[in-house]
Chains A and B, each alone.
Chain A
Amino acid sequence: MLILTCPYCGVKAEETELSPGGEAHLKRIGPKGTAEEFEAYLFARKNIKGVHFERWRHAYGCNKWFLAARDTHTMQVYGTYKAQTAHATDEIVANARQARAEWVPDWPQASEAVVA
């Protein structure tokens, strides 16, 4: 059973105090989206074995949604961060890269940072 530290209240919460919300960093597709874009938004999930970004709500606590970077295979937690964050922090990226050297973030800014 996982423990994740809520970045809003600092509580080290166990899984029963949290409710899960699936993959993080999805971009909402509204009425203007094409059928393909909308299908991907609704259904296409990365389902990764390895570094995974996911949503959690501190449901039995401060009630805030937060994001966690977790390894779905080793269960290592690379970090938790606030939901109002476009991407995982550099520190989290570094943690993940240290554990999984082959992993590269799939958002441009971070890739640049890693490469540089």
Chain B
Amino acid sequence: MSHTPPFRLARGGRLINRAFQLAFRFDGRHLRGVQGDTLASALLASGQMLMGRSFKYHRPRGPLASGAEEPNALFGLGQGGRFEPNQRASTTALVAGMVLRSQNCWPSLDADVGAINNWLSPLFPAGFYYKTFIHPRPFWKHVFEPIIRRSAGLGRAPVDPDPDRYEQAYAFAEVVVVGGGIAGLTAARDAADKGGRVIVLEQNPVWGGRTPIDHDGGQAAIDALLADLRGRDNVTLRRNTMATGLYDHGYLLAREALADHDPNQGIPRQRLWRIRAGHVISATGALERPLSFACNDVPGVMLASAVRDFIVDYGVAPGQRIVVVTNNDDAYRTALTAQAAGLEVVAVIDARSQVKGDLPQAVRAAGIPVMTGKAIAKVKGGTHVEGVAICDQAGNGRVTATLDCDVVAMSGGWSPVVHLYSHCGGRLTWDEPEAMFRPDPTRPPLGTDGKSMVTVLGAANGDLRCAGDLERSEGATMPVWVMPQNAAYRLRAKMWLDFQNDVKVSDVELAAREGYASVEHAKRYTTLGMATDQGKVSNINGLAVLSNALNQPLEATGTTTFRPPYTPLTLGTIAAEAKGDTFQPLRKTPIHVWHVRNGASFEPVGHWRRPYSYPRAGEDRHSAVTREILAVRKSVGTLDASTLGKIIVKGPDSGRFLDMMYTNMMSTLPVGKCRYGLMCNENGFLMDDGVVARLSADTWLCHTTTGGADRIHGHMEDWLQCEWWDWQVYTANLTEQYAQIAVAGPKARELLQRLPGTIDLGQEALPFMTWAEGELAGIPARVYRISFSGELSYEIAVPAGRGLALWEQLHDLGRDLDITPYGTEAMHVMRAEKGFIMIGDETDGTVIPQDLGLHWAISKKKPDYIGKRAQARSFMKDGSRWQLVGLESLDGRVLPDGAYAVEPGVNANGQRKTQGRVTSSYHSPTLNRPIAMGLVRHGPARMGQELEFPMPSGEVMKARIVDPVFYDKEGTRLNG
């Protein structure tokens, strides 16, 4: 028997509009659907039952379900940057012009070479990879892994950037109802009566859930509820919005599809809602379970609910001759629906021996044969159902009859959708009579107040008949985990549990035999439930088979962990605006525009962008650095130092506070002077450095490193608020209030004196390590006589809004002095030439100031400072710590930054012993030779000794230990 037209029924289809035809392409073929179709209904209506191949065995597969749980019908959708793999045909609305590609097949869906795996399937049991690819050992890396990697993965990743727009939004509500079926809408009405804000989320484009399909008068009941809710100001109804996960304290993420796969709408494609819910009502319904009978994966075997959904919602006939197989009354609705649509219902096969409910009686009355106590022994057909062999459910599979059919509508009962409830710690209980896990009301997820934050209602709570007055009475469900009950191995080896990952009853049984008794282990060993559908249809059946194999009740086996997202989220919604130019907040100095105009090559420093150098025509960024350094050493250069942290510390206790913050004595710093300070953490390690200026009797200004401003300000406030809260100190982070320009070089003073102003910049009035304030070029300015380059140098702070004007004026006035803007790399090299340390180069969070020879900056008089006790610990005082030295390369080449100096012998791990490492290394343009600094064991006591640095190539570079100050040891230049 084959799949025969007509595929679209003459009448019906509550969600479609036949007046609007939509053309699309499937594997190159031109097909048509109608408005309101999903990809699945459009393909079925085109006679396309074969929709994909399974992952492992490449078995032909058709649609199993009609909703988010669909494991088989997944496509690559779209083109170019909009291509997306694994799009579920059942939930993706058809848009005109769509391009679909089938997955897991080559060269085509119909003639797939990989299907040979199917014939070899006895060779690929659970754990196949683990068992097979172990020996010989080297084969794993070079042979097995590359091959497996090539064939692994579901679908293909897109290559081009996604051109679509995504966004996020925050929402707050007293109650969020998830699920827009009858239970959810009723609960929303009740919640809204209490007056708080209520948000209702429905993942589908239509409201109502199963009620309009399954119950006479269902649509009217839903419409009445919607009309009521739409009339309320405190209710927001949001459809096309899938609640993806629930997190601590009522944090609920939901994805709203605004223009999915429809870029022509010109609006954001999807939006991620970040909702804070006072309380969540989960009315997420239930999912139908498949039955495990042999060849239950042949295209045409579908969930009973899906068969009636395709008929009722889309006016599509999945087939012409339908066999229903069930263990419950609900599936009888499918028989009635199919018959009413003019399709032939061959029989209902019911595993139960007694069937007397309203629905079965109605089916019998309609003249449809009902076969009780029966089971499907096997489905006949390869790429499509051709018939079923019938046997006794209680037996081992002996065939008693065969029936011709082209669709099998199966129902193994229903499982509540407990995902959201479980995401944040809600526990389940096994409901034996209904054969399902349902939320345990005594162990719900808890909110910030320690009370339940989720109420589960309706089918999600196991109340499968929740449509109130619309319900007809139904008989009890009989748990059927394997069909027939005592099926032989050859049948169990063809019963699919996880359709997407090709896990069968026999695989789970094998896992149990091999000792994978924990459900989490069995899951990973067999890959049950690990595909993109996350086991929505396979989970419970798999757990039941595992429990039976372990001979324990299902409750003892438990479930695997439910984790968000409920269905896959696009990375686009997670990133939202955080991409491209707004990936991170780039911080720009007030002089940034000048740098851009003058060709700066930027580097990131934290979130800041700072000029690395300013290459001119014909230069690369490194030759520019050389030119910049030589210009500063010869004449004058400017550095944009605005990024340096600037923290004001004011109040009567500021002196003693700063004495605690810094290793130096800051309280004794005279007004008008500057002092270089070191800041450590309680572990004793150096965390920041910078120049401190005393502005007045009770006010200091602390400079921090570029990356340190916020961190150090936070550190200061931490101690002030949490330890010494009775000290009278206020701080303010004024980093961004000022532009700061370093003017450095022998001509620095000459240049600055050309600016009109009120500040005496002479050596007498403003010697090294002092500051003065007044006006420069009509701008209020503070001038610090400090130097990080080793040259005569001034740093000028002006209000940020005036920084660019000052910078430009300096460059106008300094043209004849060959004034040169210099970047961070020139700054780094010049400070290294002077042997100045750099936080982050010479320090790495394990270095104390004593390691760096900075004893002069550590007060001996102070009884205490942050880090003092730690620096007295035995390991800190140990003479064998690595200490700062200069390193002179012996062959004229620059040592690689980070290279290790080795010593004879190996450590416990068989690695070469080390005795030091390079912390900074450059070619010095000033000296025209390589310079380096490093930390070396007993370094300062070993001047002149040679060290060996093995290179990754096997070559060994050598360097001599020297003084770290390479340039102007006497410091005459900076004294100008």
Contacts and interface: CB of A to CB of B under 8 A. Distances in A.
* A and B bind: yes
Interface of A: 1-3, 14, 19, 21, 28-31, 33, 35, 38, 41-42, 55, 57, 59, 63-65, 71, 74-77, 83-84, 99
- Top 7 A-B pairs, shortest CB-CB distance: A76-B450, A1-B251, A65-B721, A83-B722, A84-B725, A31-B869, A3-B249
A14 B717 contact: no
B714 A77 contact: no
Given A1-B248, A35-B874, A75 B448 contact: yes
B870 interface: yes
B449 interface: yes
Contacts of B873: 35, 38
Contacts of A64: 721
Given A31-B872, A42-B683, A75 B864 contact: no
Contacts of B450: 71, 74, 76, 99
22 contacts: A1-B251, A3-B249, A3-B276, A3-B448, A19-B714, A28-B682, A31-B864, A31-B868, A38-B869, A42-B682, A42-B870, A55-B722, A65-B717, A71-B450, A74-B425, A75-B249, A76-B448, A76-B449, A83-B722, A84-B721, A84-B725, A99-B450
A29 B869 contact: yes
Contacts of A59: 714
B446 interface: yes
Contacts of B251: 1, 3, 14
Nearest to A71: B450
A30 B869 contact: yes
Given A2-B249, A83-B721, A83-B722, 10 more contacts: A29-B869, A30-B869, A31-B863, A31-B869, A38-B869, A42-B682, A55-B722, A75-B249, A75-B448, A83-B725
B734 to A, nearest CB: 14
B701 to A, nearest CB: 19
Contacts of A14: 251, 276
Nearest to B684: A42
Interface string B869-899: 1101110000000000000000000000000
B586 to A, nearest CB: 19
B869 A33 contact: yes
B358 interface: no
Nearest to A28: B723
Contacts of A76: 446-450
Sort chain B's interface into a size bin. Answer: 20 to 34
A19 B717 CA distance: 13
Contact of A65 (B448, B722, B872): B722
A30 B725 CA distance: 17
A71 B249 CA distance: 12
Contacts of B967: none
Which of B247, B723, B869 has most A Cβ within 10 Å? B869
Contacts of B874: 35
Contacts of A1: 247-249, 251
B717 A63 contact: yes
Nearest to A57: B714
A41 B425 CA distance: 34
B145 interface: no
B903 interface: no
B844 interface: no
Contacts of B870: 38, 42
B808 interface: no
B216 interface: no
Nearest to B724: A28
A21 B896 CA distance: 37
A71 to B, nearest CB: 7
Contacts of A55: 722
A35 B874 CA distance: 9
Interface in B837-878: 863-864, 868-870, 872-874
A59 B276 CA distance: 20
A64 B721 CA distance: 7
Interface string B262-298: 0000000000000010000000000000000000000
Interface of B is mostly: mixed
B718 interface: yes
Interface in B229-249: 247-249
Contacts of A28: 682, 723
Nearest to A74: B446
Contacts of B868: 30-31
Contacts of B247: 1
A21 B718 contact: yes
B274 to A, nearest CB: 9
Interface string B446-470: 1111100000000000000000000
A45 to B, nearest CB: 14
Contacts of B249: 1-3, 75
B643 to A, nearest CB: 20
A65 B248 contact: no
Interface in B424-457: 425, 446-450
Which of B248, B250, B868 has most A Cβ within 10 Å? B248
Nearest to A43: B683
B869 A75 contact: no
A57 B718 contact: yes
A99 B451 CA distance: 10
Nearest to B719: A28
Contacts of A30: 864, 868-869
A36 B863 CA distance: 20
B353 to A, nearest CB: 47
A38 B869 CA distance: 8
A35 B447 CA distance: 42
Contacts of A77: 448-449
Contacts of B721: 64-65, 83-84
Interface in B394-413: none
Nearest to A3: B249
Contacts of A75: 248-249, 446-448
A2 B714 contact: no
B875 to A, nearest CB: 11
Nearest to B250: A3
Nearest to A25: B722
Contacts of B869: 29-31, 33, 38
A106 to B, nearest CB: 20
Nearest to A39: B873
A88 to B, nearest CB: 15
A72 to B, nearest CB: 11
B276 to A, nearest CB: 7
Contacts of A74: 425, 446, 450
A29 B867 CA distance: 10
A75 B250 CA distance: 11
B219 to A, nearest CB: 39
Contacts of A65: 717-718, 721-722
A85 B631 CA distance: 57
A21 B711 CA distance: 13
A21 B682 CA distance: 14
A2 B683 contact: no
A6 to B, nearest CB: 13
Nearest to A96: B450
A33 B873 CA distance: 11
A61 B870 CA distance: 33
Nearest to B713: A63
A41 B873 CA distance: 13
A20 to B, nearest CB: 12
Nearest to B731: A63
B564 to A, nearest CB: 12
Nearest to B683: A42
A48 B249 CA distance: 20
Interface in B645-693: 682-683
A29 B870 CA distance: 10
A89 B425 CA distance: 29
A32 B722 CA distance: 20
B940 to A, nearest CB: 26
A74 B444 CA distance: 11
Contacts of A41: 682
Nearest to B872: A31
